[in-house]
Amino acid sequence: MASKPQNKFQQDEKRRDADHVSFLKHKNWRWLKIALVLCIVTGVGYALIDQEPRPNGGSWYGYTLGTIGVVLIIWLSLLGVRKRNISTGHWSLKAWTSAHVWLGLSLIVIGTLHTGFQIGWNVHTLAYVLMLLVIITGIYGVWAYATLPAELSSNRKELTRGEMIDALTAIDRQLDSAAQPLDRAQSDLVIAALDQDVFYGGAFGRLTGSYPGCATAKALKSMPAGGDEAEERVVTLLTRRSEQLAQIRRHLRIRALLEVWLFIHIPATIALIAALLAHVVSVFYYW
Amino acid sequence: MVIEGVNLSKGGDRLSDLYKVAIVGSGPAGLSAAAHAAALGMSHVLLEKTDHLSDTIYKYQKGKHVMATPSNLVLRSDFDFDAGKRETILGTWDEQAAAQNVNVMMNAEVAKVEGDKGDFAITLKNGETVRAETIVLSIGTQGNPNMLRCPGADDPMIQYQLDDPGEYFDEHITVVGSGDAGIENALGLAADDAQRNVVTILNRRDSFARAKAANVTLLEEAEQEGRISVRRETSPAEVKNGELVLETRDGQETIPCNRIIARTGSQPPRGFVEAMGIEFTSEERSAFPKLTPAFETTKPGIHVIGALAGYPLIKHCMNQGYDVIEFLNGNEELKPADEPILAEKFGVLPGNHDVEYWLGVFGGNVSILEELSTLQLRELMLDSAVHAYEAGDVIFTRNAPGSSMFAIAEGSVAVEVNPDDPSITVPIEQGSIFGEVGLISGRRRGATIRAAEPVVAIELSRTAALKLIATSPGAARAVNRISVERQLLQMFGSGLTEEDVAPLVESSEVMDIRAGQVIIEEGADDKDIFIIRRGSMIVEKAIGGRPVFLSYLPAGSYVGEMAVIDGSARTATVKAAIKSEVIRLPGEGFMELMERNPRVREQALSDMANRREINAFIESRKDDFDGAVDMYSETASFLVDQGLGEATDVLLIDEKLCIGCDNCESACADAHEGLSRLDREAGKTYAHLHVPTSCRHCEHPHCMADCPPNAIKRGPDGEVFIDETCIGCGNCQRNCPYGVIRMDPKPPKKPSLFQWLLFGSGPGPGEASAKWRKTNGDPEQPKQAIKCDMCAGIKGGPACVRACPTGAAIRVSPDKFLTFTKITEDVE
């Protein structure tokens, strides 16, 4: 048994005793504080420094703000790489997310001050608008991350995605044999329900949770109430099927709401970086 | 087993022959023995109860990769053996058995053995008798399947194994047995309607409590669909031709039956072995027969080798087969095949002595090894390490993880009893042991230990130490007494000496406590004190008629002092969170100790005050914030139910923060050769706190219990890990109650992240799909067990936690997390 330095144990103990808080509150709001300081300092600078002839991205102060902004934007966009590159070292993706959110928000102030409130139909304003688009979708993302997970968890009821599908398959198997004694028309309803893709409905259905063409709901509606024993059994199974489908659909809906903003956030970021490049090159070209 | 005649052996007139040796069981050990007997021209017979050689390996699934560990052990056998497919290995042995004129008698199940050395009479199940001067038993530990206990139990329509459920058609098949094996067989037989089998499963009880929940669900579903007839509270009463009489709750009933699959467990071979007059080392279930260095049992003339002797690995078995025949042939000089391994091990010790010398020193100097035979000592040393230390060397440090136990063969050591002042030490003398608290509690080292002079020490691995305690009653008593004494000394600091605690040690009692068993009942007026030496306890108090969780007590803590100090009735209930061991100390003895030692009194009073404070805090909260206390109490109980009581480091997911991105799983896979060792979604949840399927790094890992190559170890940071000697047997996977071990071949290497980002090559971050792994992987790669190793050796620590974007994933230890503040923390 080799002797082990105490500090590894202490490190582990610290981790085991770690804060159990969200990315927003990480290290007692560290990144919110840093972002606020950044905003206040740049804001006060904007107000106090006499920029000639007027506040503008082209003054020395404007260049300073622009540089801070571009560095932040590039660094913030690297979160996507950090997330996927599981390298060794004492980094925490939670800290990165925390910094990403709060520093990203501070760009509203820094970017706006950089424009000197000069807006026009040009590539410079395009970059600014794209930045705001990225930030606004990001704000939605923060809201989603802060509120939806609890709903996702309650809906799951300890089932995994695979188990939800398995449960549905099990109901379907029973439904298939239970429907054998039914007449042609009723059998067709059950067959239609069984044949329909579980994931039918497309993006709209997924986001809104509205599935007007749901064959299970239709079959359930068309089955007579108080039928014979076989019919009653089919109705029970169809009810179970629609409940199971509803759980799967709620799961898909919350997952979709958690992810949908990324479909704007990420492409807009790419566009922003391209626009930013055009903005920077053109500014220096026409210096 | 059905016996249909006996193959004529090549030994000529069998019945009157007196063989030199009869070898029972044709597994690797028996085969190798028979092969060597054949090579030496010794008259021999190999008795095999089935109609093929090596039944245990024969029963492995088709194409299973069989491993050849330990790799540093040379193979000493007339038969070849190397890692490879089951079919190749069995094929080689069949060929070599024929080519080397091994005298095999198939379908020869031994019923009883009579006689003595020089002339044993072995009666077979079919009534024949084989005579031999000596017997080598190599029957393994699989045992015989339990027969049905009803008339007709020998009917040929009963079978004890089901190889291929697809080969039976149009039959009435009854499965007897309510375990997983029975349920899986029944499901398999009823899986395909086209086979038109009528499948019935019988269960003596009214529920399938012994089986996995998933299997029970499938069975119930099959029952609902009418594919399987499930008969509860029903047992077989009589097997007739084409019929089975059932004993049901409502009387007897007869059903048509063409085939019975009996899956009612198996009988370990111990009874059969003991009936021959062979003694075992102890009453423990895990005990082995007592053996001499030449594998001879307490019944002269009968030798035991292989798994039954405690060596489950194929190579060991084959070597012993060779050795035992050498011994029987009069070669007393033969060194065991492990000699070079031991020589290498002992090479680090001073003085250039040989193996024999050191074995003598160890056996002679160390008190707990006194009772061991040379063979047992050798075996123990194979699982152990030896160390030489200079005076002043640190042997282990306080808080280092470690479940090994040390024995001092030469020299003495000093224990730093006060963490703040290393100069205060207590000596431990030559021949004694240390580190036993870590072994028993499964927790970290309690003190730093240095060599006081040059020291030669044996470090017994956890497995080796537990085996020693199980096989040597003297060692067990010694370890027990020392551990109680040390635990007392450690708990009450440096002021005490062995003499101070001696009366208390004498009056102490070690008790096994079941999970959930109460050791202290609220309101009772007993006065005992309990030290938890293994497992953990929870403290509960009835508030407003309901039990409220107050606190969690890990191993190493004590409880019950309040009633002794202030003479009051018990103020709370203490019960075991998991299977535990406590040391019970009589209250009066503890009182006396306190009276004589004011420091002990001081410490006990301060511990008591702390505890009172916590209890009072929670009780006061109960009045103000009913919800928070209920939440805390129920969440804590839930976590204990999920195995936190025996965990050292467990992954929890706060589902108020988890966005379901599965980045934890991806990170896990990417940190470890491409396979994730955690399943985020699976597992239980309470109040949004989710315990995913992931290793808890138990104090006493269930997975370690039965690992043939001892490949599961506790690492330097407390992690339980599986090393590369894993033979892929799957025992650990079956033994883990939390389902955290998976069996998979090592996947191929993926293209890098940037190749994926830029060119889309490879499957991307995270675990690749099974399909990708299969198409790109090496088909010869054997399945091995994989589990969480807490990212040992990876700078930055566990990847699952580092890679969580929202802070949902945390890894905690129960003693840090099961507190009011942590559990009721507002995460947002």
Summarize pLDDT for B365-375 with one digit per residue, the tens.
Answer: 999 998 887 77
Residue A4: predicted pLDDT: 39
B214 shares contact with chain A (CB less than 8 Å): no
Q: Do B400 and A96 touch (CB under 8 A)?
A: no
Least trusted range by pLDDT, from B42-46, B317-321, B462-466: B462-466
Model pLDDT, residue B625: 58
Using a CB–CB cutoff of 8 Å, tell me whether B800 touches chain A.
no
Which residues in B lie closer than 8 A to residue A83 (C-beta atoms)? 663, 803, 805
A24 CA: distance to closest CA in chain B (Å): 7
Chain B partners of A22 at a C-beta cutoff of 8 Å?
Answer: 657, 806-807, 827-828
pLDDT of residue B379: 81
Q: Within the 220-279 window of chain B, which residues sit less than 8 Å (CB to CB) from chain A?
A: 221, 224-226
Mean pLDDT across B249-261 = 88
Cβ–Cβ below 8 Å for B688 and A97: no
B803 vs A: CB within 8 A: yes
Tell me: pLDDT of B617 over 90. Answer: no
**Residue B826, pLDDT above cutoff 80:** no
Cis status of the peptide bond prior to B709, with omega within 30 of 0: no
B-chain residues near A173 (CB < 8 A):
221, 225
pLDDT of residue B168: 87
Residue B717 in contact with partner chain A when CB distance is under 8 A = yes
Residue A6 above 60 pLDDT?
A: no
Instruction: Name the pLDDT band for B524 (thresholds 50, 70, 90).
Output: very high
CB B75, CB B315: distance < 8 Å? yes
- Closest residue in chain A to residue B822, using alpha carbons only: A20
With contacts defined as CB-CB under 8 Å, which chain A residues touch B684? Answer: 158
Residue of B nearest to A166 (CA): B218
What does the pLDDT read at residue B76?
92
Per DSSP, chain B holds a count of helices (H) and strands (E) of 25, 43
> B541 touching A, CB under 8 A?
no
Instruction: Please judge whether B822 and A20 are an interchain contact, meaning their C-beta atoms are less than 8 angstroms apart.
Output: yes
User: Which strands make up the sheet holding B243-248, listed edge to edge?
Assistant: B235-240, B243-248, B251-256
pLDDT of residue A3: 38
Nearest to A10 by CA among B715, B399, B649: B399
Q: What is the DSSP string of B40-90?
A: HT--EEEE-SSSSS-HHHHTSPTTPEEP---TTSPP-SSS---SEEHHHHH
| Fold classified for B504-620 | Jelly Rolls (2.60.120)
ipTM: 0.91
Average pLDDT across chain B, whole number = 87
Mean pLDDT, residues B565-587:
90
How high does pLDDT run on average in chain A?
A: 91
B45 is written with which tokens? Answer: 């017979």
Phi, psi angle pair for B770, to nearest 5°: -55, -35
Closest CA to B804 of A21, A192, A55, A57: A21
Tokens standing for residue B34: 């028979």
Name the band, by pLDDT with cuts 50, 70 and 90, for residue B626: low
Task: Return the pLDDT at B6.
Answer: 36
CA-to-CA distance for B808 and B67, rounded, in angstroms?
40
- pLDDT grade for B8, boundaries at 50, 70 and 90: very low
- Encode pLDDT of B101-121 as tens digits: 999 999 999 999 999 999 999
Domain B158-264 has CATH 2.60.200.20: no
* Confidence (pLDDT) at B16: 56
Using the Cα atoms of residue B111, residue B115, residue B120 and residue B121 in order, give the sign of their dihedral: negative
Interface test with A, best of B670, B676, B696, B806 (most A CBs within 10 A): B806
Bridge partners for B448 per DSSP: B416
> Is B554 near chain A, with CB under 8 Å?
no
End-to-end CA distance of chain A: 68
CA-nearest residue to B818 within chain A is: A17
- Domain positions in chain A: 26-82+93-155+265-285, 161-259
pLDDT score, position B494: 59
Distance from CA of A195 to the nearest CA of B (A): 20
Read off the pLDDT of residues B753-802 as tens digits, 9 standing for 90 and up.
Answer: 889 988 989 898 999 998 999 899 888 888 899 999 999 988 888 999 99
Least confident of B280-289, B423-432, B599-608: B280-289
At B13 the pLDDT is 44
Q: Where are the domains of chain B?
A: 18-143+268-328, 158-264, 340-488, 504-620, 648-812
Q: Tens of pLDDT along A32-90?
A: 999 999 999 999 999 999 887 888 888 899 999 999 999 999 999 999 999 999 988 88
Q: In the prediction, which pLDDT does B9 show?
A: 42
Contact A3 B400 (CB under 8 A): yes
Looking at residue A5, its pLDDT comes to 40
Region A113-129: mean pLDDT is: 94
- Cβ contact B812–A146 (<8 Å): no
CB-CB contact of B457 with B432 (8 Å): no
For residue range B168-186, what is the model confidence (pLDDT) as tens digits?
888 999 999 888 888 888 9
B794 chain-A contacts, CB cut-off 8 A: 88
Fold (CATH) for B340-488: Jelly Rolls (2.60.120)
Confidence of residue B209 (pLDDT cuts 50, 70, 90): confident
pLDDT over threshold 80, residue A1: no
What's the pLDDT at B3? 36
User: What mean pLDDT comes out for the span B655-684?
Assistant: 93
Q: How would residue A7 be classed by pLDDT, with cut points 50, 70 and 90?
A: low
Question: Where does the pLDDT of residue B496 fall: very low under 50, low under 70, confident under 90, or very high at 90 and above?
Answer: confident
Give the residue from chain B lying closest to A85, CA to CA.
Answer: B753
How buried is B75 (Cβ within 10 angstroms: 0-12 exposed, 13-18 middle, 19+ buried)? middle
> Does A12 sit within 8 Å of B718, measured CB to CB?
yes
Contact A93 B795 (CB under 8 A): no
Q: Which helix (H) or strand (E) holds B679?
A: strand B679-686
What are the pLDDT digits (tens) for B323-372?
999 999 999 888 888 888 899 999 999 999 999 899 999 999 999 998 88
Chosen for mutation from A4, A10, A11, A20 (greatest number of chain B CBs closer than 10 Å) is A20
Contact indicator for B507, B529 with CB cutoff of 8 Å:
no
- Interchain proximity B718–A22, CB inside 8 Å: no
Given this model, what pLDDT does residue B10 score? Answer: 42
Q: Quickly state the pLDDT bin for B159 (edges 50, 70, 90).
A: confident
* pLDDT at residue B5, rounded to an integer: 35
Q: Which residues of A touch B221 (CB under 8 A)?
A: 170, 173-174
Statement: residue A233 has pLDDT above 60: yes
Nearest-Cα residue of chain B relative to residue A11: B797
Q: pLDDT tens digits, residue range B372-387?
A: 877 778 888 988 999 9
- Cβ distance B397 to A4 less than 8 Å, yes or no, reads yes
The partner residues of B425 in beta bridges, in order of sequence, read B416
Do the Cβ atoms of B659 and A26 come within 8 Å?
A: no
Q: Would you state the pLDDT for residue B182?
A: 87
Residues of B in contact with A158 (CB under 8 A): 683-685
Within chain A, strands assigned E span: none
d(CA B79, nearest CA chain A) in Å? 39
d(CA B292, CA B268): 23
Band of pLDDT at residue B491, cut at 50, 70 and 90: confident
CB B663 within 8 A of CB A79: no
CA distance linking residue B643 with residue B738, whole number of Å? 8
Least CA distance to A144: which residue of chain B? B659
Range scoring the smallest mean pLDDT among B411-425, B444-458, B787-801: B411-425
Confidence of residue B828 (pLDDT cuts 50, 70, 90): low
**pLDDT value of position B11:** 43
**Contact assignment for A97 to B717 by CB distance below 8 Å:** no
B18-143+268-328 and B158-264 share one CATH topology? yes
B94 neighbors B57 (Cβ within 8 angstroms): no
> Which of the four CATH numbers 3.30.43.10, 3.50.50.60, 3.20.20.70, 3.90.1720.10 does domain B18-143+268-328 have?
3.50.50.60
Sort out which chain A residues have CB atoms less than 8 A from B671's CB and list them. Answer: 86
> For testing the chain A interface, which of B678, B810, B822, B825 should be mutated: the one with the most A CBs within 10 Å?
B810
Residues 6+ apart with CB under 8 A from B126: B3, B5, B6, B107, B108
- Residue A22 and residue B225: Cβ atoms within 8 Å? no
Please tell me the predicted confidence (pLDDT) of residue A266. Answer: 96
Q: Write out the DSSP string of B520-563.
A: E-TT-----EEEEEESEEEEEEEETTEEEEEEEEETT-EE-HHH
Tell me whether residues B655 and A150 touch, CB distance under 8 A.
yes
SS3 A76: helix
Q: Residue B300 has what pLDDT? A: 94
